[in-house]
Structure 1
Amino acid sequence: MTAIVSEALIARLAEWGVDTVFGLPGDGINGIMEGLRRNQGKVRFVLVHHEEAAAFMATAYAKATGRVGVCLATSGPGGIHLANGLYDAKLDHAPVLAITGMQETSVLGTGYQQEVHLDRLYEDVAEYNEMVTNPAQLPGLVDLAVRTAYARRGVAHLTIPNDIQVADAGKNPWPTVAPAHAPATSPVYLSPPVRPRDDDLNAAARVLNRGERIAILAGIGARGAGPLVERVAEVLGAPVIKTLSGKMVIPDDSPFATGGLGLLGTAPSAELVDDIDTLLMLGTNFPYTKHLPEPGKVAVVQIDTDAARIGSRMPTDVPLVGDVGASLTDLLPLLRTRDDRSHLKKYQDKMSDWRSKMAALESPDRDPIAPQYLAHLLDELCTDDSVLTCDSGTIATWAARHWNIRARREFYLSGNLATMAPGLPYAIGIQHAYPDRQVVAFIGDGGFAMLMAEFHTAVWHGLPIKVVINNNAGLGQILWEQMVLGYPEHGVRFGDPQPDYAGWARSAGGYGVRVEKAGDLPDALRTAFATDGPALVDVMVDPNEPPMPGKVTYEQAKKFAGAFLRGQPHKAAIATTLFKDRVQQLKDR
């Protein structure tokens, strides 16, 4: 059988170590599907219900493994559907390769059916972006695409016309015009050296050794360097703030951890940034600058592998270009150990008080079910090596504050894009990567509804993911954002009848149960977690529970109160919930 271009494409991906392609077939990629069929012993194809989910799965696979994630879509609308998931990869610096179809070269430019020039559409999202127009270009373009995705930590895209997909591999279609002279390449990527220069390390040490009240801000770029981060924190007497994406860097019960920063963060972290004279930023490009120290008021040392990102959020005294782990290894011997632990002790005490307040909100005695209680039960019942995927919205607040990193636990969500809907496909992508680990998707009803068909994908592929829906029958985060702006809620709650998500799970072949009473929740979760295959627990939580910022500003409080006075339709229920929260916190002190 003559080898076709698509066969060479998939075979080359296998040489790069690619073992999975997430996608949805279409007439614009039938040739590539044949290439996958011919290489099915090397690369598995994961059929999904929606191309957006395929891109999310590839992104999650890349985030969790560090290897390139690959997604596949047909020409035109299929490729358009990939875009949201690809922007998630771009903004969170995950290496992803998108492969799309294209109309035959003979009809390009004629306004043919589904003629969307995806290489032009992806100009903003892709670091490498090419249309294959000659069979001789492969495997060279595959090598360049994958290598660029790794080197620039972003998206690469190859779009392949139908006639090229099925052409003879390596054959020049125009031999009388010019001989084929494609460059010889190899499927190899070598990470560049990551150790900062000695002069820069010494300069960083001088700044940190002068500091008296130091804090560390650790992002996902510090993943894997947690023990080093804690050793530096011990030497400097520095509390450690974690970005939400960097939640897994050090355990949540670490004596140095003060939790997150920003709307989803803790009060101690918010107070800490106003109380320091020095900030050490590790592997983070934290975008919410209003929550960072006032520029010019603190000395800043920042470590990142990308020199372009250093100094983009805060004026930086010493930039260190390098891997966080390698940089801290060389920096540690240069640092002066602090004898005065008062700064650290101050925030350890504040965190003890904060944890007590959060624990008070995890009461099983409240009706309707408190979302904090649901998140707390997940924390209790999940294994020590579980992976939690999360959606955007109020769900992220409950996960950030009540589900704790310990042992080998990991946590993933859409960080900088903060899109809805990735929680479920993230879980599927990560379960493919780690079939023996517990993977739990903790998502809101709004995010689940967007890509709920992918629960059937998990069933069909035999992936034992667990889905826990924090169901507040609306778009909770937007409700509270409207109120903080001083507006009464509008367009954020779904009326009756409510969808039967548990029924959908059962109809798809999985386990499904709906829970409305707190007393039924522990057994429902235990049963779901003990189920061999995919399981879903739809939990009806209090829709009036506010995801309050760790530290409420005067302006936020004033506008929130104004929304009440201008006719907030659920103000009685909201006021009651806030009152219950406060009573519970006082009772449990």
Structure 2
Amino acid sequence: MAKIAAESLIERLAAWGVDTVFGLPGDGINGIMEGLRRHRDRVRFVLVHHEEAAALMATGYAKATGRVGVCLATSGPGGIHLLNGLYDAKLDHVPVLAITGMQETSVLGTGYQQEVHLDKLFADVAEYNMVITNPGQLPSLVDLAIRTAYARRGVAHLTLPNDLQVAEAGADPYRHVAPARLPQTAPVYLKPSGIPRQEDVEWAAEVLNNAERPAMLVGQGALHAGGEVLAVAEALGAPVVKTLLGKAVIPDDSPYTTGGIGLLGTRPSEELMDEADVLFMIGTNFPYTKFLPEPDRTRVVQFEADPTRAGARVPTDVPVVCDAKEGLRALLPLLKRRNGSPHLTKYQKMMGKWRADMKSLENPGRNPVAPQYAVSVLDELAADDAILACDSGTVATWAARHWTIRGDRRFYLSGTLATMANGLPYAIAMQHAFPGRQVIAYVGDGGFAMLMAEFLTAVRHRLPIKVVINNNNSLGQILWEQMVLGYPEHGVRFAAPEADFAAWARACGGFGAKVTEAGDVAPAIRQALEHDGPALVDIDVDPNEPPMPGKVTYDQAKSFAQAFLKGQPHRAAIATTLFKDRIQRLGE
């Protein structure tokens, strides 16, 4: 059987260490599917139900492994469906390769069925974006695409017309210019060392050593540098704030952390940002500048791997381009160690109170079930090396505050894009990448419903993922955002009948449990975690529990009150829930 060009594509992917491709077949990629079939011993194909899920799986795979994630879609609508997941990769800076099909070259430009020029459509999302026009290009352009995805921490896209996919491998019909040559360089991405310039490190040390009220802000770029972050925090006597993508940098019970920042963060972190005289940003380009210190009164030192992002958010006194781990290692010997820090002690006391407040909301005696209690049970029962794939919405607030990083736990979500429906595809991809670890998707009912067919994908691939649904029968985050704007809620609660996703899980052949009472939460989650296959727990939680910011501003409180006065339809239930929360914080 003659070797076809699509095999050159798959062979080169395998040479780069790609072991999994997530996708959905179509007549625009039949040649690529044949290439995958012929090399199924080297690269496995994971069949999904929707191309958006394939792109999200590739993104989740890249986030969890650091290796390039690969997704595949047919021409036209298939490629269009990839875009949301690809933007998640772009905005959170992870390497993903998207491969799409295209109509035969002989009909391009004629308005043929499903003729969408995906290279033009992907122009904004992709760092590398190429239509293959010659089979001889394939090995070299696969190399360039993957190198670019790694080097620029983003999306690469290759689209192959149907006739080229099945052409003879290595065919080169246009030899009159220059023959295509197979690459001789080994398919290994040589990551830059990321070692900072000595003068930059000395400059950073000078500013940090003179700080009286230092604060550290760490993000996903420091996930591999947790030990160094703690060593610097100890030397400076500095509290450490964690972005949501950087939640797993250091343990949540560390005496140095004040937890998260922003709407999902803690009050101590917000107070710290108001008080700090020097902010040390490590591995983060935190986009929500309103939560950062005022530029005129706080000096900023930043360790950032990408030169284009260094100093991009706030005026930065010392922008240092380096890998977080390498930079901190170089910095540590230059820091003047402090014996005791009243500044740090102050925030340790504040965090003690914050943790007690959060613990008081994890009340097992409330019905409807308090969402804080549901996630606290999951936190208690899950393994110390569990991977949590969190969806967007109110679930992100509950996970940020009640899912504890300890041991070798990991935490992933759609950060900058904050797309819904990422939790389940992430979990599937991460379970493929780490078959021996406990992988949990913590999702809302709105996000789960968008791509719920992928639970069947998990069953078919015998992936023992666990899904816990925070079911408030609404788009909870939007509900509260409407109220903060001063508007009564509208169009955010789903009408009857209410969904029973546990029934769907059982219909798929997995474990499914529906929970409506607080007393049943722990038994159901425990049974799901012990189940040897895919399992889902659908928990009906209090739909009127607000994801309150760590520090409520006057304007937020005013708008919230105005929404009530304008005729909030559920104001009695919301007021009752808020009253219960307040009582519990006071020590019910």
Q: 1:340, CA displacement in angstroms?
A: 4.1
CA contact (8 A) 1:482 1:488 kept: yes
Matched residue, 1:467: 467
- What secondary structure sits across from 1:258 in the alignment? strand
1:89 maps to what in 2? Answer: 89
Percent of aligned pairs sharing the same letter: 70
Letter in 1 for 2:183: A
- Partner residue, 1:510: 510
2:334 match? 334
Higher mean C-alpha deviation, range 308-317 or range 343-352 = 308-317
Does the aligned pair in 1 maintain the 2:427–2:441 contact within 8 Å? Answer: yes
Q: Name the aligned partner's letter for residue 85 of structure 1.
A: G
For the pair 1:45 / 2:52, whether they are aligned, the reply is no
CA contact (8 A) 2:428 2:463 kept: yes
| 1:7 matched residue in structure 2 | 7
Match of 1:212 in 2: 212
Q: Give 2:226's aligned amino acid.
A: G
How far apart, CA to CA, are the structure 2 residues paired with 1:212 and 1:142? 51
In the alignment, residue 356 of structure 1 is paired with which amino acid?
Answer: A
Give the equivalent residue in structure 1 for 2:584.
584
Helix, strand or coil for the counterpart of 2:31? helix
Distance in 2 between residues matched to 1:160 and 1:17, nearest whole Å: 21
Aligned to 1:504, what secondary structure does the other structure show?
A: helix
Q: What are the Cα deviations for residues 145-182 of structure 1, in whole angstroms up to 9, with x where unaligned? A: 0000000000000000000000001111245x445234
Distance in 1, Cα, partners of 2:480 & 2:57 = 30
The 3-state SS of whatever aligns with 1:302 is strand
Paired position in structure 1 for 2:200: 200
Alignment of 1:107-506 (within 5 A): 107-175=107-175, 177-178=176-177, 180-182=179-181, 184-186=183-185, 187-506=187-506
Question: 1:344-381 CA deviation, whole Å, 9 max, x = no partner?
Answer: 00000000000000000001001100000001001100
Whether the aligned pair in 2 keeps the contact of 1:140 and 1:185 (CA below 8 Å) is: no
TM-score (norm 1): 0.99
Amino acid in structure 2 at the alignment position of 1:296: D
Segment drifting more, 292-301 vs 213-222: 292-301
Query: SS of the counterpart of 2:586?
Result: helix
CA gap of 1:329–1:102, structure 2 versus 1, over 3 A, is same
| Helix, strand or coil at the partner of 1:32 | helix
Residues 65-121 of structure 1 show CA distances to partners (whole Å, capped at 9, x for unaligned) of 000000000000000000000000000001000000000000000000000000000
- Could you tell me whether the CA contact under 8 Å between 1:143 and 1:185 is conserved in 2? no
Distance 1:280 1:324 in 2: 12
In 1, distance between residues paired with 2:475 and 2:94?
28
Gaps of 5+ in 2: none
User: Shift of the alpha carbon at 1:501?
Assistant: 0.7
Partner amino acid, structure 1, of 2:374: L
Q: Distance in 1 between matches of 2:224 and 2:209?
A: 25
Code of the aligned partner of 2:157: H
Q: Is the 8 A contact 2:23 2:47 kept in 1?
A: yes
Give aligned pairs, total. Answer: 587
Q: Deviations over 1:378-418 (max 9, x none)?
A: 11000000000111110000000000000100000000000
CA contact (8 A) 2:528 2:537 kept: yes
Structure 1 residues 542-582: Cα deviation after superposition (integer angstroms, max 9, x where no partner): 00000000000000000000000000000000000000011
Asked if 1 retains the 8 angstrom alpha-carbon contact of 2:137 and 2:180, the reply is no
Give the SS at the match of 1:482: helix
441-450 vs 312-321, which moves further: 312-321
Deviates more, 1:414-423 or 1:181-190: 181-190
- Does the aligned pair in 2 maintain the 1:302–1:320 contact within 8 Å? yes
Secondary structure in 2 matching 1:376: helix
1:515 deviates by 0.2
Map of 2:31 onto structure 1: 31
Mapped partners of 1:296, 1:238: distance in 2:
21
- Secondary structure of the equivalent of 1:189? coil
Contact 1:222 1:282 in 2 (8 A): yes
Contact 2:139-2:182 within 8 A present in 1 as well: no
Provide the secondary structure at the position in 2 that maps to 1:18: coil
Larger mean Cα displacement after TM superposition, 345-354 or 497-506: 497-506
For 1:497 and 1:181, the matched residues in 2 are separated by 61
Letter in 1 for 2:384: D
Q: Map 1:513-532; keep pairs closer than 5 Å.
A: 513-532=513-532
* Alpha-carbon distance in 2 for matches of 1:142, 1:241: 40
CA RMSD of aligned residues (A): 0.8
In the TM superposition, residue 296 of structure 1 has moved relative to its aligned partner by 2.2
2:19 alignment partner in structure 1: 19
* Aligned-partner SS, 1:274: helix
Q: Partner amino acid for 1:188?
A: V
Q: Encode CA deviations 1:423-460: one digit per residue, 9 max, x unaligned.
A: 00000000000000000000000000000000000000
- Partner AA of 2:334 in structure 1: L
SS in 2 for 1:431: helix
Partners of 1:584 and 1:516 in 2: CA distance: 21
Mapped partners of 2:41, 2:364: distance in 1: 50
User: CA–CA distance in 2 between the matches of 1:446 and 1:86?
Assistant: 21
Which deviates further from its counterpart, 478-487 or 179-188?
179-188
Letter in structure 2 aligned against 1:399:
A
CA-to-partner distance for each residue in 1:278-327, whole Å, 9 max, x for gaps?
A: 00000001000000001121111100110110111111111111110110
Contact 2:513 2:524 in 1 (8 A): yes
TM-superposed deviation, 1:183: 6.2
Q: Which residue in 2 is equivalent to 1:75? A: 75
One-letter identity of the residue aligned with 1:441: A
Q: Which residue is 1:64 aligned to?
A: 64
Deviation, 1:188, is 2.3
**Would you say the 8 A contact 1:101–1:162 is kept in 2?**
yes
Tell me the residue number matched to 2:537.
537
Q: Distance in 2 between matches of 1:339 and 1:587?
A: 35
CA contact (8 A) 1:423 1:443 kept: yes
Distance 2:103 2:587 in 1: 67
Shift of 1:62: 0.4
C-alpha distance in structure 2 between counterparts of 1:267 and 1:193, whole Å: 37
Residue 463 of structure 1 aligns to a residue whose secondary structure is coil
491-500 vs 68-77, which moves further? 491-500
Does the aligned pair in 2 maintain the 1:61–1:433 contact within 8 Å? Answer: yes
Q: 1:179, 1:439 → 2: CA distance?
A: 50
- 8 Å CA contact retained: 1:172, 1:179: no
Structure-2-length-normalised TM-score: 0.99
Gaps of at least 5 residues in structure 1 are none
* Structure 2 letter corresponding to 1:299: R
Kept in 1: contact 2:371–2:470 (CA 8 A): yes
Deviation (angstroms), 1:500 = 1.9
